[in-house]
A and B are shown apart, each in its own frame.
Chain A
Amino acid sequence: MGIEFITLAIVLSLFTLMAIGVPLGASTLIISVSAAYLSFGPNGFILVTSAVTKVMDKQALVAVPFFVFMANIMERSGVAKELFDSMAILGGQMRGGVAVQTCVVAVILAAMSGIVGGEIVLLGLIALPQLFRLGYDRKLSIGSLCASGSLATLIPPSVVLIVYGAEAGVSVKDLFTAGVGPGLLLASLYITYVLIRVRLNPAMGPAYDAPEAALPFFQRLAFLRGLILPFLLIFGVLGSIYGGIATVTESAAVGAVGALIVAAARRELSIQKIREALWATTLTTGSILWLIIGAVSLVGIYNILGGTRFLGGLLTGLEVAPIVVIIIMMGIVFFLGMFLEWIAIVFITVPVFAPVVVQLGYDPVWFGILFAMNIQIYMLSPPFGPACFYLKSVAPKDVTLQEIFLAVLPFIGLQIIGLALVMAFPQIALWLPGL
């Protein structure tokens, strides 16, 4: 049986099982067990076993539950609402100011948690009702909120970058540093787009109507106090990583404890909230981990069958410029995003792509950032765009999924522009790690 046939059989089986409704983790497990048995008999099982047990030894993944716990505590602490109110007032009565401040708040929240779902839900609960109440254009509000909420895939401490780093064998710290430039680039693109639209049609973004927003600028600076706790937390997490004081895992623990302190300082901490946050953390990280186990076992057996070498050979054997190979890889990630969860995409594609990227002479950190930017596009793209579903779950009832998907289209365009810019000018990502 040729590897081409095996590859086709695996892809078809995977899509069939997923279509029936078999969880992704179980689908990949079924295929890996079958492939191991059919190819090597009972001895094949041992090959898969070693891949599965190695998952429990991936140090970088330990940071994931810590960051998820931190995000869950922050979600329950009310700090995001105070942050949004302060930023909206600081923005004054500028037209489109609240949408712009939503983007800024999204960047700060991304730097605090690294979890897209929680961030979009928070923004959906806090910012969207304000934007609608003020009479902001619905599509502009929804699109800017979904897009800026997805920045958590790129801005440190991004869980996507942690998982990518663990699988590609790339320094998570370098990935975090490299994610800052492109993250801010995308945020700037979103803000510029909002400002241009509002400039062309002022009715799309009325000024903020809170009395405090009309205060002189220096008096509004008093509302900066709403930023103190979030910035202390960001400083604690990212400062401990970049200062070389703590590993990524330890800084995630610092963040978790910091989130508890912030919630306590705001008198929003209770045993019940901690229990809820822990339960949510258990379920979220559990679903991620068992998906990883399935994906790793499938990739493990596929690798032994020569699949990784086959796909790598296909990519390097193309008689095209190396950058075209990168574009093809990005296309594959984008295509898979229509069917698979991002974690599965990481564990299925990175073992194939990472060696090819190095072989082509590119920096794997740069590729990791391109990968995360692509995952960000996947977050918004129909038919599965998770960010759209997250927002739908908390948006007013009259907001339809169709409206959300239409609203995010211009922002997907901006994300593609951002991706192309980082592809064409790698220094956007690499200048900070190079310092």
Chain B
Amino acid sequence: MKYYVAFVSRMSVFFGKACGVFYLTAVGLSIFEIFMRYAMGKPTAWTSETIMVLVATAWMLCVGAVTQQRRHITVTTMELLVGPKIWGRMKKVAIVLSMVGVSGLIIMLWDPMLKVINAPQTSGSAFDPPTPTYVKTMLVFAGFLYLLQLIANLFTPSQPADDTSKSER
């Protein structure tokens, strides 16, 4: 199991760190659009939707890293009331329940994903990218990343494996 935990954790951190590239590219494209609009007088038809897709990709891919670093927003007041030992057990239950919720999300998104893969949908704008197809597929992928990391968290102690979180809030 420790190989599984190590592999999934590394994968989550890798995808999480890759998200930074998507954000930087999106920032660059936004500036490019302003430049094209005012300096060149030629606003583009594709940057807005491309930025949206880049940011959405980062949002979806980061879920493993957020879970691995245990950064999902959680109310932890009960820890003060029940003590660390019982809280530790409650956290395991919380992970199992989270797995149920995420599994539900994957099941919900599965059929719509198959539908758009068989008959791809586009956004219908002037640029007309296949954004709905992409987003629905990526959401399922993100759901699996989330689930795999939750399973890994179930078998790891509370502290995240990657200690870079110490410098974050």
Q: Which residues of A contact B (CB under 8 A)?
A: 17-27, 29-30, 33-34, 36-37, 45-46, 48-49, 52-53, 56-57, 59, 61-62, 65-66, 69, 117-118, 121, 240, 245-246, 249-250, 252-254, 256-257, 275-276, 278-291, 293-294, 297, 339, 341, 343-344, 383-384, 390, 393
Q: Which residues of B contact A (CB under 8 A)?
A: 16-17, 19-20, 23-24, 26-28, 30-31, 33-34, 38, 48, 51-52, 55-56, 58-60, 62-63, 65-66, 69, 71-79, 87, 90-91, 93-94, 97-98, 100-102, 104-105, 107-109, 111-112, 131-132, 135-136, 139, 146, 164-165, 167-169
Of B19, B72, B104, B167, the residue contacting A23 (CB under 8 A) is B72
Asked if B109 and A283 sit within 8 Å, CB to CB, the answer is no
A299 nearest CB across to chain B (Å): 15
Of A24, A49, A275, the residue contacting B112 (CB under 8 A) is A49
- Other A-B contacts than A250-B33, A283-B71, A284-B71, 16 sampled, CB-CB below 8 A, are A19-B78, A20-B97, A26-B102, A45-B107, A56-B139, A57-B52, A59-B52, A65-B58, A250-B34, A279-B168, A281-B20, A282-B58, A283-B65, A285-B59, A286-B65, A291-B72
B15 nearest CB across to chain A (Å): 9
Q: Given the complex, which residues of B lie within 8 Å of A280, measured CB to CB? A: 167-169
Which B residue's beta carbon lies closest to that of A22? B94
Of A245, A256, A275, the residue contacting B38 (CB under 8 A) is A245
> 7 A-B residue contacts at CB 8 Å?
A33-B105, A45-B108, A245-B38, A250-B33, A257-B31, A280-B167, A283-B66
Which B residue's beta carbon lies closest to that of A64? B55
Asked if B27 and A18 sit within 8 Å, CB to CB, the answer is no
Asked if A21 and B105 sit within 8 Å, CB to CB, the answer is no
Given A22-B97, A249-B30, A256-B27 in contact, is the A341-B105 Cβ separation under 8 Å? Answer: no
Asked if A279 and B108 sit within 8 Å, CB to CB, the answer is no
Asked if B74 and A22 sit within 8 Å, CB to CB, the answer is yes
Of A56, A59, A278, the residue contacting B23 (CB under 8 A) is A278
How far does the alpha carbon of A37 sit from the alpha carbon of B27 in the complex, in Å?
40
Q: Given the complex, which residues of A lie within 8 Å of B146, measured CB to CB? A: 290
How far does the alpha carbon of A283 sit from the alpha carbon of B136 in the complex, in Å?
22
Of A21, A288, A343, the residue contacting B76 (CB under 8 A) is A21
Q: Given the complex, which residues of B lie within 8 Å of A253, measured CB to CB? A: 26-28, 30-31, 34
Q: Given the complex, which residues of B lie within 8 Å of A279, measured CB to CB? A: 16-17, 20, 164, 168
How far does the alpha carbon of A17 sit from the alpha carbon of B93 in the complex, in Å?
10
Given A33-B108, A279-B20 in contact, is the A24-B26 Cβ separation under 8 Å? Answer: no
Asked if B100 and A30 sit within 8 Å, CB to CB, the answer is yes
Asked if A19 and B75 sit within 8 Å, CB to CB, the answer is yes
How far does the alpha carbon of A283 sit from the alpha carbon of B31 in the complex, in Å?
24
B22 nearest CB across to chain A (Å): 9
B121 nearest CB across to chain A (Å): 10
Which A residue's beta carbon lies closest to that of B99? A26
Asked if B167 and A390 sit within 8 Å, CB to CB, the answer is no
How far does the alpha carbon of A19 sit from the alpha carbon of B24 in the complex, in Å?
37
Given A65-B23, A245-B38, A290-B72 in contact, is the A26-B98 Cβ separation under 8 Å? Answer: yes
Asked if B63 and A257 sit within 8 Å, CB to CB, the answer is no
